[in-house]
A and B are shown apart, each in its own frame.
Chain A
Amino acid sequence: MSNPQHRIPAGRRARGAGKKFFPVLCVLLSVVCLLGMAPASASKKKVFIKTLKDGHYQLIVAGKPFIVKGVCYNPIPIGKTHDYDFWNDPEKPWLVDGELMKKMGINTVRFYQPGEDVEAMRRVIADLYKKFGIRTMMGHWLGFWNYPAPFYDDQDFRNKVKTDVLALVEALKDEEGILFWVLGNENNYSFSGKINPWSSERIDKMQDPRQCLLARAETYYTLINEIAREIHRIDPNHPVVMGNGELICLDVANTFAKDVDVVGCIIYRGKTFGNIFKTLKNTFDKPLLLVEFGADAYNAYEKKEDEDMQAYFLEYQWAEIYRNIASNRDGVGNCLGGVMFEWTDEWWKHGEWDAAGWLVHDTESNWSNGAYYFDIKADRNMNMNEEWFGLVKLLPGEKDAPPGQAMNKRVPRKAYYAIREFWKHPSKTSSIKNPERPSPAGRKNQR
């Protein structure tokens, strides 16, 4: 990243030479002051990634190494849906959540998408940072959920997305609590045409599915790169993270999205992240942040809440993250930390079109993932329960309670405490954790 604030204009030095001594001295003193002070204040503010001698990547925040101990934060109350403006929630849930997060050891939250009220966003970001020391990763969907489709191959659409993102950066870049900008979230899954499909006449003409996929990838990653460059220009203090589903198409990103600072991967691989650290090092050598990972707390096979299962997976996942952060000789050293999905359960997710369902904690699974093997023998292998990923569960607040007392109650799950302990003593448990968990895939699984 280039930082124009740190440059001293050469022409200015030339103009001062050979004239009166005093002004020269003044100029020189000013320069000395600038050299001595400006970088110090800037570095205090600046978030950047340092490459260590051994090639490891280390995140530096306020001049100190920083491991991202993060959580995705989308505090939608029971009975509301995804378009709820939580930034202006009169209950100010972030104050209760921030306190709980701080006690757990969380130092970062990730918002997927900005709100419309900039002042409200500033207030939340500032409250989290100033009251609890929690920093914010601010994300943007990049129009992925646009209806009817995100036309990434359309120049007007690209311009609109770019304008939106840069306006966001301009508005929040001076907030002390900002840590990263996160561009997109699994948008790359659309390249195959199976998910949220988008295309263009140019791409359709290619016909061959593989060529179409590569063309979509190039189209999208060039947009990411254009936005990342612009962000660097207007905000050199906060790195840009690209939110990518798995490692899919990162070989294309290696060519077309060179200007992103951090690869943010969304990974659901169960107990282990597998070869991701090494593979990324060899395909797109950027620092890695696991911007979304985790496990749900509902056992779809046994059809009941299973806090052990969630804690079990998360402990393994964090152990692997810690093995691969800078300075740990056992790992690849390219991981900056992780952001768990997610802070609270979200009751609106299943059947989001049905308002009555927002009041129900649904237990029907939304997707299947064999890596979460304890309940993979659920009907049709549908074992992932999107409404049950919270580190804290929500309970309905007091009925008819006055504002300020109507907030959903937060009840930390086992994972909250398990990860809190892990962060306190990562060296003790950063090897394999709890290998002797009883498996529900036992006798009852015989159909």
Chain B
Amino acid sequence: MSQRIIFLTVCGWLCLSVAASAQEAASTQAAVPSAETLKASVAPDDPQGLANLKSVVAWYVGDGKFDELVAYLDSLLKKGFERLPDVYFYRAYARNAQLDSWKKIKNWEGVYDKGPEIKTAMEKDLAQAEKFVAGRPDMALRIAFLRWLIASQDDPEAAAGLFDGLVSKAKSVPAQPDTMALIKEMADSLSSYEDKNLSRRLYEIYASALKASGPGPEQLKKAGQDFVQQKNIYLAKTLFEGYLEQFAGDPEVLAKETVLIADKFAHQGYEEALDPVYAESLYQKAFDLAGQKAFTAPSQYSRAFNLERMKDFEAALKEYGKVLSDYPDFSAPAEVEFRASVLRAYAIKDIKGASSSFEHIKTAYPAGRLALASLYQLGLLSQWEAKNDAAKAYYEELAASAQSQGADMEKDELVLLSRERLQEIEENKPMKYALRLFFEGIFGRAEDAKTQGMSLNVDLTGRPAKAPVNDDIVFTVTTSNPVTGCMMPAYSYEWSGETGAAANIPNSATLTTSYGAQGIKVTHVAVVGNNGLEGVAFEMVQIENQ
């Protein structure tokens, strides 16, 4: 994998552009010149001649003819090209590409036995190339990049210095579009590297040049948006921040614009967020600037939802509260209230407060699915507190409401679940095992010390968090495992709550399911190990009609 990336790192700003131009030529049905034709028109003092040389190099490299390429370049040195840096550079490049090709086919003997000798030759060529780079900033940058790339393989200290050199060179070259494009391509090729600082340093130069070229704020915003599409988060952030600078004199406008940018990075539910932590930092910054005035109702909801997905339940509850208190016109108050009630019940463990909110939902929105969901939650909380009469009344009310809403009484999950609970109450049985474990894990039982000392942090995440009816949702449990080396503790996963249409609920950490009716579904899991209950978690996913 890394070989491929390293290969592209070099080829990205060399061969691919050549291949692209070749393809372009082919697509326009122009005759693609042969390598021999191109060779005949290679010239040291003519831009087209140099472009031809680049194409010849690409032909050889594309065919894996590295030794032949080196021989061809050697022959050029005898034909008046001895002061052309490109020849030496391409010779080093060819050798590096040869090493890369060996890595690709896992010819490790070649890489490790012949590599040192090849590297010495490359270093000599690059030193020679460097003597002739006056007036060729692009070549100076390419040489610096290749030097760093070679050193980064086995001499990190030298590589660090060489990268500094590359950055200095990149800063000092004239900010022409072609050199800036080259710098961005280099940064792109480094963006998948472990050390993000490498690409960032080059992106910074590119972004500074872009900003210095005097684009209008809208152009910066558009460029930022383009980078969001490309999922180039760093550059998107940099340009959006540049865009926001224009509003520095007006805190309220700045705050509002900041929130709009934050929305782009926050969880929205349908796909994974670009950077939810960054989004929250922007929301907070906006709030600090202008208070609640910075937020529209949808943005305030986004902030709360983003926090919920980040599992910062307490903060999410607070922000959902603001949606309800500050934005009476928000389009989906029942959803907000339901989410807040679930968080109050199972994250804050405030049964009384949660019950009161669920009561309000069923009264305020009696015709909606969330009224049924609230009745089920009220039943559960009452049953847990051994208020069986109240629980029974809620479950019966749920059945009646479902019927009046036209639900399919033989298939509706909430109806079926409430029937199960009613039967437990009528037969004077405890809640179903998995459900009981979840409630014990959340609220604990004084007489059962084991549930007080759960040792695992359990995370339950459903993906996507918002989906159409009947689409797959995958719930995944991750646990903060104790250190046990390669021996994983054997856990059983007890799923409960709304588990949807999955025919068989697996005793495993993943549950794939779908839901036949819209609404916010509350799903639970309890993780049980050798020592008993180890941890519990819950999750909400939102199902919407097509």
B436 interface residue (CB < 8 Å to A)? no
In Å, the complex CA distance between A306 and B453 comes to 40
User: Using an 8 Å CB-CB cutoff, how does the interface string of A402-440 with B read, 1 for contact, 0 for none?
Assistant: 000000000011101110110000001101111111111
Instruction: Establish whether residues A431 and B156, one from each chain, have CB atoms under 8 Å apart when the complex forms.
Output: yes
Instruction: Establish whether residues A438 and B2, one from each chain, have CB atoms under 8 Å apart when the complex forms.
Output: yes
Instruction: Establish whether residues B152 and A194, one from each chain, have CB atoms under 8 Å apart when the complex forms.
Output: no
Interface hits, B189-235 → A, CB 8 Å: 191-195, 198, 231
A396 interface residue (CB < 8 Å to B)? no
B509 interface residue (CB < 8 Å to A)? yes
B6 interface residue (CB < 8 Å to A)? yes
Instruction: Establish whether residues B156 and A435, one from each chain, have CB atoms under 8 Å apart when the complex forms.
Output: yes
Contact of A380 with B192 at beta-carbon distance under 8 Å, contacts A197-B530, A414-B106, A447-B272 already known? no
**Chain A minimum-CB-distance residue to B110:** A417
In Å, the complex CA distance between A107 and B463 comes to 50
Among B193, B274, B484, contact of A189 (Cβ-Cβ < 8 Å): B484
**Which residues does chain B contribute within 8 Å of A420, judged by CB atoms?**
112
Interface hits, A181-236 → B, CB 8 Å: 186, 189, 192-197, 209
**Which residues does chain B contribute within 8 Å of A380, judged by CB atoms?**
476-478, 509-510
User: A129: shortest Cβ distance to chain B, in Å?
Assistant: 27
Instruction: Establish whether residues A447 and B485, one from each chain, have CB atoms under 8 Å apart when the complex forms.
Output: no
Q: Which one of A412, A429, A438 has the highest number of Cβ atoms from chain B below 10 Å of its Cβ? A: A438
Among A186, A302, A379, A438, contact of B487 (Cβ-Cβ < 8 Å): A186
Contact of A195 with B109 at beta-carbon distance under 8 Å, contacts A436-B152, A447-B272 already known? no
**Which residues does chain B contribute within 8 Å of A421, judged by CB atoms?**
112
Number of interface residues of A (CB under 8 A): 53
**Chain B minimum-CB-distance residue to A368:** B481
Instruction: Establish whether residues B112 and A417, one from each chain, have CB atoms under 8 Å apart when the complex forms.
Output: yes
Among A189, A412, A416, A438, contact of B6 (Cβ-Cβ < 8 Å): A438
In Å, the complex CA distance between A196 and B476 comes to 25
Instruction: Establish whether residues A268 and B486, one from each chain, have CB atoms under 8 Å apart when the complex forms.
Output: yes
A363 interface residue (CB < 8 Å to B)? no
Instruction: Establish whether residues B484 and A245, one from each chain, have CB atoms under 8 Å apart when the complex forms.
Output: yes
Instruction: Establish whether residues B487 and A446, one from each chain, have CB atoms under 8 Å apart when the complex forms.
Output: no
Q: Which one of A384, A431, A446 has the highest number of Cβ atoms from chain B below 10 Å of its Cβ? A: A446
Contact of A433 with B156 at beta-carbon distance under 8 Å, contacts A186-B485, A379-B476, A439-B194 already known? yes
Instruction: Establish whether residues A442 and B108, one from each chain, have CB atoms under 8 Å apart when the complex forms.
Output: no
**Which residues does chain A contribute within 8 Å of B155, judged by CB atoms?**
428
Contact of A368 with B488 at beta-carbon distance under 8 Å, contacts A194-B530, A435-B195 already known? yes
Instruction: Establish whether residues B108 and A417, one from each chain, have CB atoms under 8 Å apart when the complex forms.
Output: yes
User: Using an 8 Å CB-CB cutoff, how does the interface string of A241-277 with B read, 1 for contact, 0 for none?
Assistant: 0000110100000000000000000101000000000
**Which residues does chain A contribute within 8 Å of B3, judged by CB atoms?**
308
B5 interface residue (CB < 8 Å to A)? yes
Instruction: Establish whether residues B531 and A193, one from each chain, have CB atoms under 8 Å apart when the complex forms.
Output: yes
Instruction: Establish whether residues A440 and B486, one from each chain, have CB atoms under 8 Å apart when the complex forms.
Output: no
**Which residues does chain B contribute within 8 Å of A304, judged by CB atoms?**
1
A443 interface residue (CB < 8 Å to B)? yes
B505 interface residue (CB < 8 Å to A)? no
Instruction: Establish whether residues A431 and B194, one from each chain, have CB atoms under 8 Å apart when the complex forms.
Output: no
**Which residues does chain A contribute within 8 Å of B106, judged by CB atoms?**
307, 413-414
A366 interface residue (CB < 8 Å to B)? yes
Q: Which one of A189, A367, A429, A436 has the highest number of Cβ atoms from chain B below 10 Å of its Cβ? A: A436
Q: What number of residue pairs across chains A and B have CB atoms under 8 A from each other?
A: 125
Size bracket of the B interface: 35 or more
**Which residues does chain B contribute within 8 Å of A442, judged by CB atoms?**
191-192
Contact of A437 with B194 at beta-carbon distance under 8 Å, contacts A379-B510, A429-B154 already known? yes
User: Using an 8 Å CB-CB cutoff, how does the interface string of A265-306 with B read, 1 for contact, 0 for none?
Assistant: 010100000000000000000000000000000010010101
Instruction: Establish whether residues B192 and A438, one from each chain, have CB atoms under 8 Å apart when the complex forms.
Output: yes
Instruction: Establish whether residues A246 and B483, one from each chain, have CB atoms under 8 Å apart when the complex forms.
Output: yes
Q: Which one of B478, B482, B484 has the highest number of Cβ atoms from chain A below 10 Å of its Cβ? A: B484
In Å, the complex CA distance between A416 and B108 comes to 9
B291 interface residue (CB < 8 Å to A)? no
Instruction: Establish whether residues B485 and A245, one from each chain, have CB atoms under 8 Å apart when the complex forms.
Output: yes
User: B459: shortest Cβ distance to chain A, in Å?
Assistant: 10
**Which residues does chain A contribute within 8 Å of B191, judged by CB atoms?**
442
Instruction: Establish whether residues A440 and B1, one from each chain, have CB atoms under 8 Å apart when the complex forms.
Output: yes
B36 interface residue (CB < 8 Å to A)? no
Contact of A436 with B488 at beta-carbon distance under 8 Å, contacts A245-B483, A308-B2, A446-B272 already known? no
User: Using an 8 Å CB-CB cutoff, how does the interface string of B463-501 with A read, 1 for contact, 0 for none?
Assistant: 100000000000011100111111111000000000000
A386 interface residue (CB < 8 Å to B)? yes
Instruction: Establish whether residues B231 and A431, one from each chain, have CB atoms under 8 Å apart when the complex forms.
Output: no
Interface hits, B369-397 → A, CB 8 Å: none
Among B195, B483, B510, contact of A248 (Cβ-Cβ < 8 Å): B483
Instruction: Establish whether residues A194 and B1, one from each chain, have CB atoms under 8 Å apart when the complex forms.
Output: no
A381 interface residue (CB < 8 Å to B)? yes
**Which residues does chain B contribute within 8 Å of A193, judged by CB atoms?**
530-531
**Which residues does chain A contribute within 8 Å of B1, judged by CB atoms?**
299, 302, 304, 306, 308-309, 438, 440
In Å, the complex CA distance between A328 and B96 comes to 35
**Which residues does chain B contribute within 8 Å of A412, judged by CB atoms?**
108
User: Using an 8 Å CB-CB cutoff, how does the interface string of B123-161 with A read, 1 for contact, 0 for none?
Assistant: 000000000000000000000000000001111110110
**Which residues does chain B contribute within 8 Å of A189, judged by CB atoms?**
483-485, 487
Among A381, A418, A443, contact of B112 (Cβ-Cβ < 8 Å): A418
B298 interface residue (CB < 8 Å to A)? no
Instruction: Establish whether residues B108 and A414, one from each chain, have CB atoms under 8 Å apart when the complex forms.
Output: yes
Contact of A437 with B2 at beta-carbon distance under 8 Å, contacts A379-B510, A432-B156, A446-B231 already known? yes
**Which residues does chain A contribute within 8 Å of B112, judged by CB atoms?**
417-418, 420-421
**Which residues does chain B contribute within 8 Å of A245, judged by CB atoms?**
483-485
Among A192, A248, A306, A384, contact of B486 (Cβ-Cβ < 8 Å): A384
Instruction: Establish whether residues B453 and A436, one from each chain, have CB atoms under 8 Å apart when the complex forms.
Output: no
**Which residues does chain B contribute within 8 Å of A268, judged by CB atoms?**
485-486
**Chain A minimum-CB-distance residue to B151:** A436
In Å, the complex CA distance between A432 and B159 comes to 11
**Which residues does chain B contribute within 8 Å of A414, judged by CB atoms?**
106, 108, 111
B328 interface residue (CB < 8 Å to A)? no
User: Using an 8 Å CB-CB cutoff, how does the interface string of A362-382 with B read, 1 for contact, 0 for none?
Assistant: 000011100000000001110
Contact of A195 with B487 at beta-carbon distance under 8 Å, contacts A308-B3, A380-B509, A436-B152 already known? yes
**Which residues does chain A contribute within 8 Å of B194, judged by CB atoms?**
435-439
User: A17: shortest Cβ distance to chain B, in Å?
Assistant: 60
A to B CB contacts below 8 Å, 25 in the list: A186-B485, A192-B482, A245-B483, A245-B485, A306-B1, A366-B488, A367-B485, A367-B487, A367-B488, A368-B481, A384-B486, A414-B106, A417-B111, A418-B112, A420-B112, A421-B112, A428-B155, A432-B156, A433-B154, A434-B154, A435-B159, A436-B152, A437-B194, A438-B1, A438-B2
Given contacts A246-B485, A438-B6, 12 further A-B contacts (CB under 8 A): A196-B487, A209-B453, A209-B531, A308-B1, A366-B488, A367-B485, A380-B476, A413-B108, A414-B111, A434-B152, A436-B193, A447-B272
Closest 4 CB pairs of A and B: A442-B192, A417-B112, A438-B5, A194-B489
What residues make up the interface of B, taking CB atoms closer than 8 Å to A? Answer: 1-3, 5-6, 106, 108-109, 111-112, 152-157, 159-160, 191-195, 198, 231, 271-272, 274, 453, 463, 476-478, 481-489, 509-510, 529-531
What residues make up the interface of A, taking CB atoms closer than 8 Å to B? Answer: 186, 189, 192-197, 209, 245-246, 248, 266, 268, 299, 302, 304, 306-309, 366-368, 379-381, 384, 386, 412-414, 416-418, 420-421, 428-429, 431-440, 442-443, 446-447
